[in-house]
Amino acid sequence: MNEEVRRSIEECSQMERFNLVTRLGNDILINGGEIFRANEAMQYAARVLRLEGFNAYVIANGIFSTAIIDGRFYSSRICYVRLAPIVLCRVDELNHLSRRIAAGKCGPYEIRAELDRIEKMEAAGNMTKIFASGIGSASFCYLFMGSFFDAFTAFLAGVVLNLFLIYAAPRISVSRIMRNILASLVVAMFCCAMYSVGMGDSLDRIMIGAVFPLAPGIPLTNSVRNFLENDYLSGLIRLVDAFLTAGCIAVGVGAAMRIWFTATGGIFR
């Protein structure tokens, strides 16, 4: 650790350092980093920033941390972490930052500047994401035995899905559950409409591809990993998230088909 870093640590108040450490953990967790990663990064940062008796308890949607202030009092922070969209490039950057902190190459002011920068980071623009969603839908449609024609329709459906998620969903502030139901409803209605005007060979395959970006792969994987780390509480939170998301897709798709059947008399073509 060089002299400059040492000096800046001494200059910075204990409160400020404690805040920085919790913020680091919060950022890792909210962008989709693992729980143990958040925990370890906080422990390393606390050691380097000379926070006495630092201890943290991290679960899927919250951080509880304590440190000894002035050598006498226990100070604690409770940090609520909402379930947010995954932004993996930020996790990667935070991981690099955490390495640098642990190596003693990063003072508190630099950490704050880096956190400010990373919190705004994005690896792809909205247009790229919408396009990617279409490509993802199309390739999964093809993977599940769809024809190229199906894949093309699934591409359009995937684009519609992400247009809805990025532009329409934030305006109507609804819960995650309603958002997922609405999104799958919209996309399933779109598929039905496209299919009935003659786009695509198999409705089933188009739909499977189209709803794939909504499928709960992430909460399922994270939940399993939490269970393996003996963190049953976080595992349960994420397992419920996974099952609810799957249920929401089912309800949305089912409702859309019912509506379409009733409206058009059950004949697709």
C-beta of 227: minimal distance to other proteins in Å? Answer: 8
* Residue whose CB is less far from other proteins, 178 or 218: 218
DSSP class of residue 201 equals S
181 binds other proteins (CB under 8 A): no
Classify residue 200 as left (phi > 0), alpha (psi -120 to 50) or beta.
left
**Residue 91 lies near other proteins (rule: CB under 8 A):** yes
Q: Could you tell me which of 40, 38, 44, 6 has the C-alpha nearest to residue 23?
A: 38
CB of 100 to other proteins, least distance (A): 7
> Shortest gap between Cβ of 55 and other proteins (angstroms)?
20
Instruction: Please enumerate in sequence order all residues whose Cβ is within 8 A of that of 58, keeping only pairs 6 or more positions apart, or say none.
Output: 25, 29, 35, 38, 39, 42, 64
- Asked if 144 touches other proteins (CB under 8 A), the answer is yes
What is the DSSP secondary-structure string of 14-29? HHHHHHHHHHHHHHHH
In 3D space, the residue among 183, 212, 222 whose CA is nearest the CA of residue 88 turns out to be 222
123 binds other proteins per the rule CB under 8 A: yes
Q: How far is the CB of 266 from other proteins (least distance, A)?
A: 11
The sign one gets for the Cα dihedral 9, 13, 15, 19 is: negative
Q: In the complex, what is the shortest distance from the CB of residue 251 to other proteins, in angstroms, rounded to a whole number?
A: 7
Query: Which positions lie near other proteins, rule CB under 8 A?
Result: 32-34, 37, 44, 86-92, 95-96, 99-100, 102-103, 122-124, 128-129, 132-133, 135-136, 139-140, 142-144, 162, 204, 207-208, 211-213, 215-218, 220-225, 227-228, 242, 246, 249-251, 253-255, 257-258
